[in-house]
Amino acid sequence: MSLFFAFTAGLFSFFSPCIFPLIPAYVANLTGSQIEGGKVIVSRRVLMIRSLYFILGFSAIFMLMGASASALGQLFAAYRDLLAKISGFLIIVFGMQMAGLLTLRFLMMEKRFQVNSDRKKNNWTSFALGLAFGTGWTPCVGLALSSILLLAGSSDTLYNGLFLLTIYSLGLGLPFLMISWLVTYSLGVVRKVNQWLPRLSIVNGWILIAMGFLLFTGQLQKLSAWLATFTPFVY
């Protein structure tokens, strides 16, 4: 269940007003290409390679955050139940904010780090851009990412927290690759999906509320254990 929530949070983080509408600009910045005739003009091979480096960049930051959150949680292992309740409550608040049920202005604060766009584009500048993106995330990503970090902090081991953020990065990175490829054919796909972004944000908010409620009540681990009994790999 934790992995499901982590992947879903990453997926919905991508389809947020903070990221998705900017995909053509991201692609152009990564590759040094131009937007002409309703599509991004770029070598698709170059695009895929540099997009992978970009994804590796923000994944490295997120995984480091996950390991740190999990390590911090281990220091307070004796208070795991209390931490789970606090984390669950905060995740519920984040979900309500994302679903539009709350409007807490301090949750919309952001910090951005800029990468020099005048430098010659290569794979490592794409990696650096990914690091900057992962370090200075935007408000929409911050709510979902913070929820997964709270979940990582309440995990049993450091590796669990690391793996949770790996799955989150996968949920964020896979659609980035797919949409980046599609915008080299037409930007129409971006315009069509833009119409669904407000609804997707609400869905994401309610998913976070559900995750927070399960964590707060201690049902998340019980539900995961129950679902595990249906897998063919459990003996």
State residue 122's pLDDT score: 81
State residue 170's pLDDT score: 93
Q: Distance (Å, rounded) from C-alpha 45 to C-alpha 59?
A: 21
State residue 219's pLDDT score: 81
Contact 178, 186 (CB under 8 A): no
Question: Residue 56 is encoded by which pair of tokens?
Answer: 């590796």
Single-letter code of the amino acid located at 21: P
Contact 58, 133 (CB under 8 A): yes
* Cα radius of gyration rounded to whole Å, the chain: 19
State residue 234's pLDDT score: 45
Name 202's bridge partners: none
Give the phi and the psi of residue 39 in degrees, each rounded to 5: -155, 165
**Full-model pTM:** 0.80
State residue 174's pLDDT score: 93
141 closest CA partner among 8, 3, 19:
19
Instruction: Report domain extents, the chain.
Output: 2-228
Q: Distance (Å, rounded) from C-alpha 49 to C-alpha 213?
A: 40
Per run of 10 residues, the mean pLDDT along the chain (length 235 residues) is 86 83 81 76 86 92 87 78 87 88 73 53 85 72 82 80 90 90 84 84 89 85 63 49
State residue 123's pLDDT score: 85
Q: Distance (Å, rounded) from C-alpha 62 to C-alpha 68?
A: 10
State residue 68's pLDDT score: 86
State residue 230's pLDDT score: 59
